[in-house]
Amino acid sequence: MEIETTPPVGPTSTPASKPELPQILQYPSTPPRLITQGAEALLYRSTYLLPTIPCALKYRPPKPYRHPILDLRLTKHRILSEARVLVKCRREGVPVPAVYALDETSGWLMIEWIDGEVVRIRLNEWLKRRRDNGVAEGVDDAELRGLMQTVGSAVGRMHGVGVVHGDLTTSNLMLRPKNLVNVNGNREGATEINVLDGEVVIIDFGLASQSIQDEDRAVDLYVLERAFGSTHPRAASLFKEVLSAYGTSFKGANGVLKKLEDVRMRGRKRSMLG
């Protein structure tokens, strides 16, 4: 659901070197459009059942460097694992995309298309606007505080159902506007003024797992904290708002926040040692 479109990256020697696409991508109701490509999967935008229902289709192509049997087993495991996590979160009220369909043998997972933009883009837009207007840090930042609290609450609810994300960054948090004009995500004529206003939806559970260990949850928070520090340093000072909302939304937060201090200490030692 990342809106930045990237061209396909892969073998360019001959058409025969490209992996054969699954049938759902060869004969879809709407021609799929490649949105982005990661190390393990390609993300397409298509439709589900009706041309008016957009969906995201995640496809894990075969890896030629892996043994075919091992590759098939890994693909099946990862598709099913991601789907189970999404279904569990959705059932428990965690803001994640709904699962529409899957074929673990062919290596694809079809989920709900989330309108809006990733938090990274919206937050950078907001920070740039304030910088251009000469607004100092900490002044009139209620909008940013509200976003941080919304993020903390979403993460707390996810951890509360026994799921850890594994790659919690602002690129894997979608901000779905409260006022939408159409399913294409166009905000023309929308009444919203605050670009940070909306529902935070957690996406990309490719590295997620089911765990109730405080250590795993603390690592999730540490990764998110580092993401804010490196990608949005002007907003990093308000990460305490994330932790505050996390503590309110998750009953077991006290143990996780204590473990977070240990994780931070290990991270600082690792940084000093290089």
Can you tell me the distance from the alpha carbon of 39 to that of 271, in angstroms, rounded to the nearest whole number?
Answer: 26
For residue 69, the model assigns a pLDDT of 96
Q: What is the C-alpha to C-alpha distance for residues 139 and 131, in angstroms, rounded to an integer?
A: 12
Question: By three-state DSSP, how is residue 175 classified?
Answer: strand
Residue 85 in tokens: 């996590």
Calpha distance 258→76 (Å, rounded) = 36
pLDDT of 268 strictly over 80: no
Residue 118 reports pLDDT greater than 90 = yes
Distance CA 74, CA 69 (A): 9
pLDDT tier at 215 (50, 70, 90 boundaries)? Answer: very high
Token duo for residue 198: 């909306």
Q: How many residues does the chain have?
A: 274
* Angstrom distance (rounded) from CA 44 to CA 36: 7
- Per-residue pLDDT at 261 exceeds 80: yes
| CA angle (32 as vertex; 27, 37 as ends), nearest 5 | 125
**pLDDT averaged over the chain?**
86
* For residues 70-89, average pLDDT: 97
- Rounded to two decimals, what is the model's pTM? 0.85
Q: What's the pLDDT score for residue 185?
A: 45
Pick the residue with more confidence: 267 or 103? 103
Alpha carbons 191 and 198: distance in angstroms, whole number = 12
Q: Could you tell me which of 156, 162, 47, 62 has the C-alpha nearest to residue 110?
A: 47
> Catalytic residue positions?
167
Rounded-to-integer distance, Cα 35 and Cα 128, Å: 25
Q: What is the pLDDT of residues 178-206, one digit of tens each?
A: 765 444 444 444 444 678 999 999 999 99
Q: Which pLDDT does position 141 carry in this prediction? A: 86
- Chain segment 52-73, per-residue pLDDT in tens: 999 999 999 999 999 999 999 9
Can you give the pLDDT at residue 193? 62
Share of the chain above pLDDT 90, in %: 69
Section 4-13 average pLDDT:
45
Q: Tell me the per-residue pLDDT of 235-249, one tens digit each, with 9 for 90 and over.
A: 988 999 999 999 999
Whether residue 14 has pLDDT greater than 50:
no
- % residues pLDDT > 70 (the chain): 83
Q: Which tops the pLDDT comparison, 184 or 116?
A: 116
Q: Residue 112: helix, strand or coil by DSSP?
A: strand
Q: What is the pLDDT of residues 29-48, one digit of tens each?
A: 678 899 999 888 999 999 99
Confidence of residue 231 (pLDDT cuts 50, 70, 90): very high
Q: Percent helix, strand, coil in the chain (nearest 5)?
A: 45, 15, 40
pLDDT tens for 140-185 read 789 999 999 999 999 999 999 999 999 999 999 999 987 654 444 4
Supply the pLDDT for residue 34: 93
Lowest mean pLDDT among 49-53, 152-156, 260-264: 49-53
Question: Does the pLDDT of residue 78 top 80, yes or no?
Answer: yes
